[in-house]
A and B are shown apart, each in its own frame.
Chain A
Amino acid sequence: MRIGIVCPYSFDVPGGVQNHVMDLAEALIALGHEVSVLAPADEDSPLPSYVVPAGRAVPLPYNGSVARIAFGPVSTARVRRWITRGDFDVLHVHEPLTLSLSLLAVLSARGPVVATFHTAMTRSRALAAAQGVLQIVLERITARIAVSALARKVQVEHMDGGAVEIPNGVAVAKFAHAEPLPGWPGECGPGTGGTLGFLGRFTEPRKGFPVLRDAFLDLAPSRPGLRLLVAGPGDPDDLFDQFPAQLRDRVTFLGLVSEEDKARMLRSVHLYVAPNTGGESFGMILTEALAAGTTVVASDLDAFRRVLDGGRAGRLFPTGDPVALRDALVELLDDAAARATLTECGDQVVANYDWPVVARRVLEVYAAAIEATDGRVIDEEWVGPG
């Protein structure tokens, strides 16, 4: 099948949507489909062979961060040309309600259009002005996918439509076989040692870093060798200022890491801690930690509970409670067998999020969109074994 995928954000900047699009495209290609990805990018920037650059993206402050997007008459012409030349069986756009290539593609396309909604934002501010305009865009979409229960809820409540919930995939093999950083994770035995990991913006309150810091400060003096590995964007001084001088050498800061280093980082810790206090719509990082075979300790948020199968695949602690977190950490660091039980169950859970599995579910949605466009039902073999 010929599949055209539109990514609204530039590949020059790493981001959740961009990674999702690339992983999906690669999984579909591996299943034997022809995929072309249209994304904003300079002609001369290095891109995978399946990506078609649609010209330079301009930075635009959006939704609390800076999005690099392409929009305007030149982009419109390029989108049209790409659609005409591509002769796609199905068009798959991501985040179609942002002012972007995705929106242009939806408005230019005829035939089966599948749209994936990533964020749980209610709607684009630019489109909020006119419900009628929003309706015209939504009418062009045949089938909708939401990557999380929260994103789906927004669809149902604010956009008057259903959506199929298909979670973000995770490239399990990439994480499972990553090489730990040299010298990590180190020793871990009863009452001594152990490495904790945290990944994310430690200055952002809802990521909950202070909860982990308090648990660490409480535990570190009585537990020699306990170390904390932190990765994510931010100023090192802001991080180290939160720790007393005598504990600073037990905290390691990696800064912003690449996808590859993220996998290595997750393999370098005994426990991955997700102390988020809210706002997490899916918990991608948890599936990645599970894929890396690392034991997860996470706040008892809806999304996390669902990913961790109610606590069978990872330990949940009451959200925002450093004492409960400390107790959970002590228990798991002391008990290698308990960690092994959790990761074993984690392996089973994460198999459902592996990209080939997720890509087959996406293919079924493609089939449903194509069927709804010409009324002809597509054969089971075409979608591949589920």
Chain B
Amino acid sequence: MPGMWWAVGAIVLVGLVSTYLVWTAGRVERLHARAQLAARALDAHLLRRAAAAAVLAERRYGVELYAAARIALDAHPDEREAAENDLTRQLRAVQLDPVDPDCEAVVAASRRLALARQVHTDLVRDARAARGRTLVRLLRMGRGREWPRYFDIDDPTLTVQADVPTG
């Protein structure tokens, strides 16, 4: 009976397509969740660096660095990237002393921030790539979530003299 084979074929096809769709939806969801968690970690590292810079500024380097750190801590989301870049510039402008524990804390916080930024950028890119695929857009998967946003700042890594050469 050819009719039955058609039916079986159709059922198998529907099964395969729906499995794929469920899997894709799960994937989009997972990548979004991951990007969000990475953003939270990045946020924490930004706060940590600004706090370390404020502590250092109070003790050693004075008003300008302190102001930059405060502005970074209080920045509105729209202005935050610029404020963080400004803090990076201020930190590069001062002569950091590698043996001072407060300086060391800022250098370490900057290094960890650089890693968090790197990971965040990669995960946001993955999530956006998945979200941008035609099928995902057509079926409006992940519509309950905002598009993950890049956090576009300069590399915050600080170099102290006699730094680790990479290569």
**Chain A interface (Cβ < 8 Å from any Cβ of B):** 135, 138-139, 142-144, 148-149, 160-165, 167, 282, 303, 306-307, 309, 348-349, 352, 357, 364-365, 367-369, 371-377, 380, 386
Chain B residues near A380 (CB, 8 Å)? 105, 108, 112
- Cα A116 to Cα B112 in complex, Å, equals 18
- Within B2-45, the residues touching A (CB, 8 Å) are 27, 31, 34, 36-38, 40-41, 44-45
What is the chain B residue whose CB lies nearest that of A371? B41
Instruction: Say which residue of B36, B123, B129 sits within 8 Å of A142 (CB atoms).
Output: B123
Q: Shortest 9 CB-CB distances between A and B: which pairs?
A: A306-B167, A375-B40, A371-B41, A368-B115, A375-B37, A372-B38, A377-B44, A352-B164, A372-B119
What is the chain B residue whose CB lies nearest that of A366? B115
User: B103 at the A/B interface (Cβ < 8 Å)?
Assistant: no
Chain B residues near A164 (CB, 8 Å)? 115, 118
25 contacts between A and B (CB under 8 A): A139-B126, A143-B115, A143-B118, A143-B119, A148-B167, A160-B125, A160-B129, A161-B125, A164-B118, A165-B167, A303-B167, A306-B167, A348-B162, A364-B115, A367-B112, A368-B119, A371-B41, A371-B116, A371-B119, A372-B34, A372-B116, A373-B37, A375-B44, A377-B41, A380-B112
Most A CB within 10 A of own CB, among B27, B104, B118, B162: B118
**B37 contacts A306, CB within 8 Å?**
no
A356 CB to nearest chain B CB (Å):
13
Chain B residues near A163 (CB, 8 Å)? 118
**A165 contacts B122, CB within 8 Å?**
no
- Cα A348 to Cα B165 in complex, Å, equals 11
- Cα A302 to Cα B40 in complex, Å, equals 38
User: B134 at the A/B interface (Cβ < 8 Å)?
Assistant: no
User: B166 at the A/B interface (Cβ < 8 Å)?
Assistant: yes
User: B111 at the A/B interface (Cβ < 8 Å)?
Assistant: yes
- Cα A377 to Cα B115 in complex, Å, equals 12
Chain B residues near A376 (CB, 8 Å)? 41
**B115 contacts A162, CB within 8 Å?**
no
Give 16 new A-B contacts, CB below 8 A, not counting A149-B167, A164-B115, A364-B111: A138-B126, A139-B27, A139-B31, A144-B122, A149-B166, A306-B167, A349-B165, A364-B112, A367-B115, A368-B112, A368-B116, A371-B44, A372-B41, A372-B123, A375-B37, A377-B41
A276 CB to nearest chain B CB (Å):
15
Instruction: Give the size of the chain B interface in residues (CB under 8 angstroms).
Output: 33
- Cα A369 to Cα B120 in complex, Å, equals 10
Known contacts A364-B111, A372-B34: A142-B167 contact under CB 8 Å = no
**Chain B interface (Cβ < 8 Å from any Cβ of A):** 27, 31, 34, 36-38, 40-41, 44-45, 48, 104-105, 108, 111-112, 115-116, 118-123, 125-126, 129-130, 162, 164-167
Chain A residues near B31 (CB, 8 Å)? 139
**A167 contacts B108, CB within 8 Å?**
no
What is the chain B residue whose CB lies nearest that of A305? B167
Chain A residues near B38 (CB, 8 Å)? 371-372, 375
Chain A residues near B162 (CB, 8 Å)? 348
Instruction: Say which residue of A161, A165, A367, A372 sits within 8 Å of B37 (CB atoms).
Output: A372
Chain B residues near A162 (CB, 8 Å)? 118, 121-122
- Cα A142 to Cα B30 in complex, Å, equals 12
A381 CB to nearest chain B CB (Å):
11
- Cα A271 to Cα B120 in complex, Å, equals 45
- Cα A373 to Cα B108 in complex, Å, equals 21
- Cα A76 to Cα B123 in complex, Å, equals 26
Chain A residues near B126 (CB, 8 Å)? 135, 138-139
What is the chain B residue whose CB lies nearest that of A386? B108
**A372 contacts B120, CB within 8 Å?**
yes
**A377 contacts B165, CB within 8 Å?**
no
- Cα A127 to Cα B37 in complex, Å, equals 29
What is the chain A residue whose CB lies nearest that of B104? A386
**B115 contacts A365, CB within 8 Å?**
yes
